[in-house]
A and B are shown apart, each in its own frame.
Chain A
Amino acid sequence: MNLDFSPEDIAFRDEVRAFIAENYPAGLRERQEEGEEMAKEDFLSWHRVLAKKGWVNPAWPSQYGGPGWSATQRYIWSEECARADTVPILPFGINMVGPVIYTFGTPEQKAKFLPPTLSGDIWWCQGYSEPGAGSDLAGLSTKAERITGDDGKEYYLVNGQKTWTTLAQHADWIFCLVRTDPAAKKQEGISFLLIDMKTPGITVRPIITLGGEHEVNEVWLENVKVPVENRIYEENKGWTCAKFLLAHERSGIAGVARSKRGIERIRAMASTELADGGEALLKDPFFKRKVAELEIDLTALEFTELRTLASESAGKGPGPESSVLKIKGTEIQQRITELALEAAGHYGAPYFRGFPTDGDNAHPIGPDYAHRTAPTYFNVRKTSIYGGSNEIQRNIIAKMVLGL
Chain B
Amino acid sequence: MDFNFTEEQSMLRDTVASFLQDKYDFETRRKIVASEAGWRPDYWKAFAEELGILGAPFSEELGGLGGGAVENMIVMEEFGKALVVEPYLGTVVIGGGFLKHSGYAGAADLIGKIIGGEAILAFAYAEPQARYTWQDLKTTAKKDGSGWTLNGHKAVVVGAPWATHLVVTARTGGGQRDTQGVSVFLVDKNAKGVVTRDYPTVDGLRASEVFFENVSLPADALIGQEGAGLPLVQKVIDEATAAIGAEAVGVLRKLHEGTLDYAKQRKQFGAAIASFQVLQHRMVDMFINVEQSVSMTYMANIKLDESDDERAKAVSAAKVQIGRACKFVGQNAIQIHGGMGMTDELAIGHYFKRATMIEGLFGSVDHHLRRYEALSIDKAA
Does A2 lie at the interface of the complex (its beta carbon under 8 Å from any beta carbon of B)?
A: yes
Does B269 lie at the interface of the complex (its beta carbon under 8 Å from any beta carbon of A)?
A: no
Is A404 a contact of B263 with CB atoms below 8 Å?
Answer: yes
Does A293 lie at the interface of the complex (its beta carbon under 8 Å from any beta carbon of B)?
A: yes
Does A11 lie at the interface of the complex (its beta carbon under 8 Å from any beta carbon of B)?
A: no
Is B281 a contact of A398 with CB atoms below 8 Å?
Answer: yes
A307's partner among B277, B298, B369 (CB-CB below 8 A) is B298
Is A404 a contact of B264 with CB atoms below 8 Å?
Answer: yes
Is B287 a contact of A402 with CB atoms below 8 Å?
Answer: yes
Segment 302-352 of B: residues with Cβ below 8 Å from A: 302-303, 317, 320-321
Q: Which residue of B lies closest to A399 (CB)?
A: B280
Q: Quick one: CB contact mask for A290-313 with B, threshold 8 Å, 1 for yes? A: 011101110111111011001000
Is A307 a contact of B281 with CB atoms below 8 Å?
Answer: no
Does B5 lie at the interface of the complex (its beta carbon under 8 Å from any beta carbon of A)?
A: yes
Name the distance in Å between B323's Cβ and chain A's nearest Cβ. 11
Give Cα A172 to B166, complex, Å.
Answer: 74
Is A324 a contact of B280 with CB atoms below 8 Å?
Answer: no
Give Cα A282 to B57, complex, Å.
Answer: 41
* A321 partner residues in chain B, CB cutoff 8 A: 291
* B296 partner residues in chain A, CB cutoff 8 A: 299-300, 303
Q: Quick one: CB contact mask for B235-279 with A, threshold 8 Å, 1 for yes? A: 000000000000000000000000010011000000000110100
Segment 350-404 of A: residues with Cβ below 8 Å from B: 391, 394-395, 397-398, 401-404
* A292 partner residues in chain B, CB cutoff 8 A: 369, 372-373, 376-377
* B274 partner residues in chain A, CB cutoff 8 A: 404
Q: Which residue of B lies closest to A305 (CB)?
A: B295
Is A404 a contact of B288 with CB atoms below 8 Å?
Answer: no
Is B288 a contact of A1 with CB atoms below 8 Å?
Answer: no
Does A47 lie at the interface of the complex (its beta carbon under 8 Å from any beta carbon of B)?
A: no
Q: Which residue of B lies closest to A1 (CB)?
A: B70
Does A288 lie at the interface of the complex (its beta carbon under 8 Å from any beta carbon of B)?
A: yes
* B380 partner residues in chain A, CB cutoff 8 A: 267
Is B284 a contact of A402 with CB atoms below 8 Å?
Answer: yes
Name the distance in Å between A298's Cβ and chain B's nearest Cβ. 10
Is A324 a contact of B288 with CB atoms below 8 Å?
Answer: yes
Give Cα A324 to B295, complex, Å.
Answer: 12
* A336 partner residues in chain B, CB cutoff 8 A: none
Q: Quick one: CB contact mask for A80-95 with B, threshold 8 Å, 1 for yes? A: 0000000000000000
Segment 283-305 of B: residues with Cβ below 8 Å from A: 283-285, 287-288, 291-296, 298-299, 301-303
**B interface secondary structure, majority:** helix
* B2 partner residues in chain A, CB cutoff 8 A: 1-2, 310
Report how many residues on chain B are interfacial, defined by Cβ distance under 8 Å: 42
Does A327 lie at the interface of the complex (its beta carbon under 8 Å from any beta carbon of B)?
A: yes
A402's partner among B260, B317, B369, B372 (CB-CB below 8 A) is B260
Does A231 lie at the interface of the complex (its beta carbon under 8 Å from any beta carbon of B)?
A: no
Is A324 a contact of B291 with CB atoms below 8 Å?
Answer: yes
Is B287 a contact of A4 with CB atoms below 8 Å?
Answer: no
Taking residues whose C-beta sits less than 8 angstroms from the other chain, chain A's interface range is: 35 or more
Does A104 lie at the interface of the complex (its beta carbon under 8 Å from any beta carbon of B)?
A: no
Is B1 a contact of A2 with CB atoms below 8 Å?
Answer: yes
Is B373 a contact of A5 with CB atoms below 8 Å?
Answer: no
B287's partner among A72, A282, A397 (CB-CB below 8 A) is A397
A1's partner among B283, B295, B302, B369 (CB-CB below 8 A) is B302
Name the distance in Å between A304's Cβ and chain B's nearest Cβ. 4
Is A310 a contact of B3 with CB atoms below 8 Å?
Answer: yes
Do A1 and B281 form a contact, CB below 8 Å, given A292-B372, A304-B295?
no
* A9 partner residues in chain B, CB cutoff 8 A: 1
Do A72 and B1 form a contact, CB below 8 Å, given A296-B321, A404-B274?
yes
Q: Which residue of B lies closest to A293 (CB)?
A: B369
Does A18 lie at the interface of the complex (its beta carbon under 8 Å from any beta carbon of B)?
A: no
Give Cα A72 to B321, complex, Å.
Answer: 25
Q: Quick one: CB contact mask for A267-303 with B, threshold 8 Å, 1 for yes? A: 1000100000000101100001101110111011111
Is A307 a contact of B5 with CB atoms below 8 Å?
Answer: no
Name the distance in Å between A180's Cβ and chain B's nearest Cβ. 31
- In the assembled complex, 5 residue pairs joining A and B whose CB atoms fall closer than 8 Å, in A order, are A3-B303, A271-B381, A296-B369, A300-B292, A310-B3
Name A residues whose Cβ lies closer than 8 Å to a Cβ of B. 1-5, 9, 71-72, 75, 267, 271, 280, 282-283, 288-289, 291-293, 295-297, 299-304, 306-307, 310, 314, 321, 324, 327-328, 391, 394-395, 397-398, 401-404
Name B residues whose Cβ lies closer than 8 Å to a Cβ of A. 1-5, 9, 70, 260, 263-264, 274-275, 277, 280-281, 283-285, 287-288, 291-296, 298-299, 301-303, 317, 320-321, 369, 372-373, 376-378, 380-381
